[in-house]
Chain A
C-alpha cells in the first residue's frame, strides 16, 4: 500500500492504494464518487471519463498510483454549485434516455467548451467521438452542445469566461 495525495473536486484527499488499483475503482469505491461509470473497461466507451489536470481521461485505463499529486474533477464537482450550463442544456433538450453515458459525455463536453467555447458541429463530433451512447442515436446530444455553442456566440466573451473558468466550474444561474 502506498499513500497518495490528490485533489478531488477541489478537496485534498489522502488515500492508500495498491499498484494495481485502477483509478475508476478507487474513485467509486474508496472516494464514493459514483458518476464515473464502469462500461467496457478497455477505453472504448468513455463512460468512465474524468478530468485529470483538466484533460479528459479514461479512468479505467489509469492506475490510481499514477495520479499522486494530481487534480481530478468528476461530474459531482462540476455540479457542486448547481447544475452547469451544459447539464441544463442536456436536460432542456432531453438529450439522454438511460443516462449511463451522460457523466462521460458531460466531462468530454466540459473539456471541449473550456478550450473552445464556440465549437462547430464537426469539432463537437470529434470531441464526443469517444463517448458511446446506445439509446439516443447521438442527435439530441450533439444538438444540445451545438445550442450551448450558439448561445455562447451570442452571449459574448466576458460571460463565457465566467461560465467556464475553473474557479467557477459550477456555472451560473442563467
Chain B
C-alpha cells in the first residue's frame, strides 16, 4: 500500500533541534521512534502529520543507564534492548517479563517502551510493570523539563498527559529497595503476538508489601490500591469472597472483539491469584 499522505521528514541530531521543531509544528507533528504504531496510524488515516520528527538521531534518547537508585530508559530504547539488558534483568525483571509478551520479535526489534506508553492503548503490556515500580515520565519542551508520575500519565484511552510541544526524554524507573518477587500474567487468545485480553503485574517485597496493577480491564492501565491495602502485611494464601469483591470493584472491563467483560472479570481473579503466588515463589 502506498502511503497517500505527504509529510516532511526531519531527523534532528540534537535535542534542541528536535524541541524547536516540536515547538514550531505542535500537534501537526508526529514523533517517530520505532514507528510500529505510527506507520499503521498514518496508513489507516488516523494521523496525518505535516511533519514526522525521527528522534533516533538524538543521543540523549538512546540512553539506558542506572541513575542513583533508578534506571533511565530513553525514548529510543527498543523492547529487544530491554530484554537483552543485564541491568534491567537484575534490577527490574518485571520489565523483561512484560516486554517478552509484546507482539513479536520483529516488532520488538523496532518498537520502544516509551512509544508504547505514548500510544497509551488500554491493553499496553508495560502499563502494569511501570505502575508497580515507581516510575516517572521525563518530558521536555523549549520551556523546560517536566516530570510526570506514571499514575498521572494516562488520562484516557490513547490519551496521555504529554503536551503538543513536548518530547518524552524517557522514563525513570525506581529500583525497589527490598528483596522482591515479580510476575506478569497476560491473557491472550493464543500464545504469541496477541494483544492482552487482560494483564496483571505484581511486585511483592519480603515484608509482604504488595503492588498490583492491571491493563486491558479498564480505560487505562491502573494500580489496584484497595487490593494492595487489603493484602499488605499478610502472607497470601488464596482468594476469598472479600478479595473477589475488592478485585471486582477495581476493574471496569468492556466487551470487545477479544473477549466479553464477564470473561475478563472472571479471569482477572484467577490471574491475581496465580500472579501473586508466582511472584511469592520468586522472592
**Interface residues of A, Cβ cutoff 8 Å to B:** 2, 18-22, 25, 38, 41-44, 46, 49, 52, 55-58, 60-63, 65-66, 108, 111-112, 125-127, 129-131
20 residue pairs from A and B, CB less than 8 Å apart? A20-B4, A20-B7, A20-B42, A22-B2, A43-B39, A56-B109, A57-B110, A60-B39, A62-B35, A62-B110, A63-B9, A63-B39, A66-B35, A66-B54, A129-B104, A129-B193, A130-B106, A130-B192, A130-B193, A131-B104
Whether B183 is near chain A, meaning CB under 8 Å from some CB there, is no
Are B105 and A56 in contact, with the CB atoms below 8 A? yes
Residues of B within 8 A of A108 (CB): 105-106
Q: How many A-B residue pairs have CB under 8 A?
A: 94
Q: A127 — nearest CB in chain B belongs to which residue?
A: B105
Residues in chain A near residue B35, CB distance under 8 A: 61-63, 66
Q: Is the interface of A mostly helix, strand, loop or mixed?
A: mixed
Chain B interface extent, by class: 20 to 34
Contact between chains at A130 and B104 (CB < 8 Å) = yes
Are the CB atoms of A41 and B43 closer together than 8 Å?
yes
Which of chain B's residues have a CB closer than 8 A to the CB of A42? 40, 43-44
Question: Which of B6, B39, B44, B54 contacts A22, CB < 8 Å?
Answer: B39
Check B104–A65 contact: CB distance below 8 A: no
Q: How far is the CB of B111 from chain A (nearest CB, A)?
A: 9
Chain B interface residues (CB < 8 Å from chain A):
1-9, 11, 32, 35-36, 39-40, 42-44, 52, 54, 56, 80, 100, 103-107, 109-110, 191-193
Write out the residue numbers on chain B whose beta carbons fall within 8 Å of the beta carbon of A41.
1, 43
Closest chain A residue, CB of each to CB of B109: A55
CA gap between A127 and B192 in the complex, in Å:
9
Residues of B within 8 A of A111 (CB): 105
